[in-house]
Chain A
Amino acid sequence: MIRLRERQSRFLAALVEGSDASDLGAGPGETGMDIYRNNYRSALIGALESTFERTARLAGREAFRQAAIHHVIAHPPTSWTLDVVGQGFAGTCRALFVNDPDVAEIAWLEWAMACSFTSRDTDVISLEDFERISAAYDDSHWTQLRLSFLPALTIGSAQFDLTVLWRSLAETSRDVEVAAAEPGQRVVVWRDGERPVFRLMSESEAYCLETMQSGAAFGEICEHLAVGAGAESGGQQAAAMLRKWLSLSLVESVIVCHERRKP
Chain B
Amino acid sequence: MTAIKPFRGFGLGLRPPHYREFVERDVPVDFVEVISENFMVDGGKPLRILREVRERYPVALHGVSLSVGSADGVDPEYLERLAGLVRSIEPLWVSDHLCWTRTSAHNSHDLLPLPLTHEAMQVVCDNIDRSQEALGRAMLFENPSSYLSFPEDEMPEWAFLSEMSRRTGCFLLLDINNIYVSAHNHGFDPVDYLAGIPADRVRQIHLAGHTPGDVLIDTHDRAVCDAVWELYARAMRDLGPVAVMIERDDAIPPLNELLAELEYARTVAVSAISEPLA
Interface residues of A (CB under 8 A from B): 1-5, 7-9, 11-12, 15-16, 23-29, 31-33, 35-36, 39-40, 43-44, 76-83, 117-122, 151, 191, 194
Interface residues of B (CB under 8 A from A): 37, 40-48, 65, 67, 70-72, 75, 77-78, 100-103, 105-110, 112, 115, 117, 119-120, 123, 146-153, 185-186, 214-215, 217
On whether the beta carbons of B151 and A8 are closer than 8 Å, the reply is no
Q: Given contacts A8-B100, A15-B108, A118-B44, is CB(A80)–CB(B149) below 8 Å?
A: no
Shortest Cβ gap from A192 to chain B (Å) = 12
Query: Which A residues are in CB contact (< 8 Å) with B70?
Result: 8
Q: Given contacts A3-B119, A80-B65, is CB(A36)–CB(B106) below 8 Å?
A: no
How far apart sit A53 and B147, CA to CA, in the bound complex (Å)?
32
On whether the beta carbons of A32 and B148 are closer than 8 Å, the reply is yes
On whether the beta carbons of B42 and A80 are closer than 8 Å, the reply is no
By beta carbon, the residue of chain B nearest A33 is B148
Query: Which B residues are in CB contact (< 8 Å) with A83?
Result: 41
On whether the beta carbons of A7 and B115 are closer than 8 Å, the reply is yes
User: Majority SS of interface residues in chain B?
Assistant: loop
On whether the beta carbons of A119 and B44 are closer than 8 Å, the reply is yes
On whether the beta carbons of A194 and B44 are closer than 8 Å, the reply is yes
How far apart sit A102 and B175, CA to CA, in the bound complex (Å)?
47
- Count contacts between A and B, CB distance < 8 Å: 134
On whether the beta carbons of A35 and B109 are closer than 8 Å, the reply is no
Query: Which A residues are in CB contact (< 8 Å) with B150?
Result: 7, 24-26
Cross-chain pairs A/B with CB under 8 angstroms, 15 sampled: A5-B72, A9-B103, A26-B151, A26-B153, A27-B146, A28-B215, A36-B112, A40-B109, A80-B65, A80-B75, A80-B102, A81-B37, A119-B42, A120-B43, A122-B43
On whether the beta carbons of B149 and A78 are closer than 8 Å, the reply is no
On whether the beta carbons of B44 and A191 are closer than 8 Å, the reply is yes
How far apart sit A15 and B102, CA to CA, in the bound complex (Å)?
11
Q: Given contacts A5-B71, A194-B45, is CB(A28)–CB(B147) below 8 Å?
A: yes
Partner pick for A27 among B46, B110, B147, CB 8 A cutoff: B147
How far apart sit A7 and B149, CA to CA, in the bound complex (Å)?
12
Query: Which A residues are in CB contact (< 8 Å) with B71?
Result: 3-5, 8
How far apart sit A2 and B153, CA to CA, in the bound complex (Å)?
11
Q: Given contacts A8-B70, A25-B150, is CB(A82)–CB(B44) below 8 Å?
A: no
Query: Which B residues are in CB contact (< 8 Å) with A79?
Result: 107
How far apart sit A40 and B101, CA to CA, in the bound complex (Å)?
10
Query: Which B residues are in CB contact (< 8 Å) with A26?
Result: 148-151, 153, 186
By beta carbon, the residue of chain A nearest B101 is A80
Query: Which B residues are in CB contact (< 8 Å) with A81?
Result: 37, 40, 65
